Amino acid sequence: MPTAGAKEHPGSPSINATRPVAQNERINSLDVLRGFSLLGILLMNITSFALPEWDYMFPLVTVKPVFSGPHAQINTIAWFLRWVLAEGKMRAMFSMLFGAGVVLMTNRAEERGAGVRTADIFTRRNMWLTIFGILHCYLIWQGDILYFYGIIALLFLFPCRHLRPKTLIWAGVLILLFNTFLFEGSSYFGAAGKKKSADLALAASAGHKPLNEEQLAAISAWKSEQEEYRPTEKELYADIAKMQKGYWPTVFYRGASAFSMETSFLYLAFGDVLGMMLIGMALYRIGFLSGKLSSRVYLLSALIGLGSAWFVGFAGGWHAWKSGFDQIETMRAQMLTFDISRLGGSIGMVAVIVLLVRRGVFRWPLNKLGSVGQMALSNYLLTSICMKFIFVWGPLHWYGYMEYYKLYYVVGGMWLINLVWSSIWLRFFRFGPVEWLWRSLTYWKLQPMRSEST
């Protein structure tokens, strides 16, 4: 890799054409939004770190019961708050910001005269992000999102950077609708069809009619479907036991899940990320993310977005909870409306935060969030390492055994670490450590690390 002082070749663009963004060029609202969404993502991911995989959204099969027992009330409140306020919305916001970052980075490079080298920089940037994602997924945590972002950017985003905002929004919304139909819709109708066939077979059996092979297969298929939703106690304890054996055994144990996430799951659910990225590109292009629109626009966006998201989210959550989280009722009430809730909620939260930044209120906490956002990649990886050490690799072995509401004490502790170390680090350095590595690899040149003020 060339050094920071490498000379330009004759005829090449100015070195300023391909340099990373300088500190005085940063858009504060984007950093604050990125920090907010990054911290918020842990509200959901904590269950993936601390509980077996099938308890991610609906913690139904746990060592310590969530929706019954002595802590049922506080656990249920914690789950409702997570579902209504944050589920899917933080990831949506993060994906929007990634899309906005693509427009910001490529526009600035082109404006500086980088020309065709813009594509070169874009490709290297996302190639390395993809590699970071592979390493993170297989060696640290199988819930990685970096691989998704890198691959989707390489496949789709560069040709979309100059599309009209209206086109980007329509494309994003249609992709989200397609994703809902393909992913949530097919899951729901598939499960409902299996249940209907099994119910008919069981009704025939109750009437003392002999069952044919097709009817027996229908009963078996519905039983298998239910076991994926609510695994047996034996499967629960087997999973926990395998996660108590240290670093390498758990890495190999989760290897199949990591492979599935980066192959079949990517193929089925890429629209979840791509749709939000395209919408984020449009919102940046019209000035929504950078605070350039009127206060009335942000207020209306907050009221409509959050109002619709909270209503839909609470109504779906309440219906699922009242049904005892019946599989079919839960999928119908919550999963089929998921993208409506998270799109409105993410845009509403963006509107509130941008308005706060622009008004200059809560300046101190928002500045701290901005520091986290500047070091988003470093904080994302640090969070994964800390959570895996606390729940799996380290001496505590809390995986599977912590009360549900207490997981959010851990979230609060991790937030404090993110906020404190980001603020301290940026007093001395221009980039987070992983951001520095990423930029050096992207621009194929060692970047200056020390802050200009030190």
List, in order, residues 6 or more apart from 288 with CB less than 8 Å away.
Answer: 297, 301, 350, 351, 354
List, in order, residues 6 or more apart from 192 with CB less than 8 Å away.
Answer: 328, 331
Residue 388 binned pLDDT confidence (cut-offs 50, 70, 90): very high
Asked if the model's pLDDT at residue 414 lies above 80, the reply is: yes
Higher pLDDT: 412 or 1? It is 412
What gap in Å lies between CA 21 and CA 101, rounded to an integer?
11
**What are 300-311's pLDDT values in tens digits?**
999 999 999 999
The burial class, CB within 10 Å (0-12 / 13-18 / 19+), for 399 is: buried
278: closest CA among 171, 353, 145?
171
Q: Is the distance from CB of 16 to CB of 117 less than 8 angstroms?
A: no
Higher pLDDT: 19 or 94? It is 94
What gap in Å lies between CA 218 and CA 229, rounded to an integer?
17
Three-class DSSP category at 69:
coil
The mean of the pLDDT values for the chain is: 93
**407-426 average pLDDT score:** 98
Residues pairing with 193 in the sheet: none
Say what the pLDDT of residue 6 is: 39
Say what the pLDDT of residue 22 is: 64
Asked if the model's pLDDT at residue 398 lies above 90, the reply is: yes
Asked if the model's pLDDT at residue 273 lies above 80, the reply is: yes
Q: Is the distance from CB of 180 to CB of 338 less than 8 angstroms?
A: yes
Residue with tokens 């905002």, as numbered in its chain: 165
Asked if the model's pLDDT at residue 13 lies above 50, the reply is: no
Asked if the model's pLDDT at residue 224 lies above 60, the reply is: yes
**115-136 average pLDDT score:** 95
Say what the pLDDT of residue 19 is: 64
**402-410 average pLDDT score:** 98
**What are 33-63's pLDDT values in tens digits?**
999 999 999 999 999 999 999 999 999 999 9
Rg (CA), the chain: 24
What gap in Å lies between CA 323 and CA 260, rounded to an integer?
31
For residue 422, what are the CA distances in angstroms to 192, 390, 415? Answer: 48, 21, 11
Helix axis angle for 186-206 and 213-229, nearest 10°, is 130
